[in-house]
């Protein structure tokens, strides 16, 4: 599945899964973004536009409302992605933080190992 895909993914389970990630300026935000892209490339769902959700862009709100599952990955305890999803009116989603997985803000470059740690946690949630 290409990261250029703008259609909602069919994960093979007959459901629509959307993945929203912190893409903040901190290293853990970068790792969150890259892990979400990895999950999308592996077919676990479709990474979707957090900025559009926060801006209440109508097509993004509608597509999010049609999702069967939503995964939100935050970089740090500020939970900006989670807050954005909640402020857009959604409360039924899975959420986790990169820093809760033992990766430290300001000390976690976007290595394959760090990205895999975050993606593996997402896989376990989405495979349940």
pLDDT at 7 over 90: no
**pLDDT tens, position by position, 106-115:** 999 999 999 9
Kindly give the residue spans of alpha helices, DSSP state H, lying in 26-111: 27-41, 50-54, 58-65, 80-87
Average pLDDT, integer, range 46-73: 97
Whether the pLDDT of residue 46 is over 70: the answer is yes
Where exactly are the structural domains of the chain?
18-127
Q: What is the pLDDT of residue 11?
A: 40
Q: Enter the pTM of the model.
A: 0.89
State the pLDDT confidence band at 83, using cuts at 50, 70 and 90.
very high
Q: Per the structure block, which two tokens stand in for 28?
A: 């853990």
Instruction: Check pLDDT > 70 for residue 1.
Output: no
**Tokens 């592996």 belong to which residue?**
42
């Amino acid at each position: 599945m290409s990261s250029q895909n703008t259609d909602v993914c069919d994960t093979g389970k007959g459901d629509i899964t959307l993945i929203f990630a912190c893409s903040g300026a901190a290293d853990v935000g970068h790792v969150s973004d890259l892990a979400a892209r990895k999950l999308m490339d592996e077919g676990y769902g479709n990474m979707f536009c957090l900025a559009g959700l926060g801006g209440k862009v109508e097509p993004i709100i509608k597509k999010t409302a049609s999702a069967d599952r939503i995964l939100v990955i935050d970089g740090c305890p500020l939970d900006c992605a989670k807050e954005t999803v909640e402020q857009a009116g959604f409360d039924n989603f899975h959420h986790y933080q990169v820093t809760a997985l033992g990766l430290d803000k300001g000390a976690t470059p976007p290595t394959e190992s760090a990205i895999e740690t975050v993606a593996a946690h997402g896989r376990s949630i989405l495979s349940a």
